[in-house]
Copies of this chain bind each other. A is one copy, B any other.
């Protein structure tokens, strides 16, 4: 039996922070035919609101720590403000969006990240969620998709004590794509502000059309890749190994082209 196509599309903070870019993207997302899920990141608005509220951003080893006040902040901003504004906008574009976090309908159970030992210190990342694709509540996702709804997912999950957990949006998108590949032919699209993966981070015209595992190793060795793209490519390769049909990385302004197979960087096995 041929599986129905499912697009899982992730947008990051750069798109969310830019009203024009967001509007263009959402119009294209609304127009895209068939089953689809939008996963969104946070954007700078959480930091801006946090500053006004006197909530300091805390980092260890360059990674953000999600303490009690920070999880409340991102629950408000990602799960409320950003998510519901996107849902409202999509509704006005005749796209029947439903905004969710991983806690809603038990969609994405997670575990709080264990303390990480670095040399002699233990690092507590706080209320951060780690995912297991086998725990995804695929039945609940199918209910929503079969109802014709377009889930809009905030980067939040929950643990078995009911605590909300801050969770990387790229990871949510790829774990969802893997878990739902048993039921759908899943295409995973990572949208950001560049036209694709650049061979040379200094040159915007150096978009790589295709990345295989071998090509990735060579690129990584070259040292010219943008460091932020490395986890995206590794997520993508892992997703392909685990049943996802295709992964594309490209510009949020070109969603139509990306899903049509034109433009962006295609990751392949």
Residues on A lying within 8 angstroms of B by beta carbon are 49, 52-54, 72, 75-81, 83-85, 87-93, 96-101, 103-106, 140, 143, 147, 149, 156, 158, 160-164
Give the chain B neighbours of A104 by CB distance below 8 A: 84, 87, 97-100
Give the chain B neighbours of A79 by CB distance below 8 A: 79-81, 83-84
Q: Is the CB of B84 within 8 A of A163?
A: no
Give the chain B neighbours of A88 by CB distance below 8 A: 103, 158, 162-164
Question: How many copies of the polypeptide does the oligomer hold?
Answer: 2
Q: Is the CB of A103 within 8 A of B91?
A: yes
Q: Chain A interface secondary structure, helix, strand, loop or mixed?
A: helix
Q: Is the CB of B96 within 8 A of A103?
A: no
Q: Contacts A79-B79, A79-B84, A101-B84: A90 and B52 contacting too (C-beta < 8 A)?
A: no
Give the chain B neighbours of A49 by CB distance below 8 A: 53, 76
Give the chain B neighbours of A149 by CB distance below 8 A: 105, 140
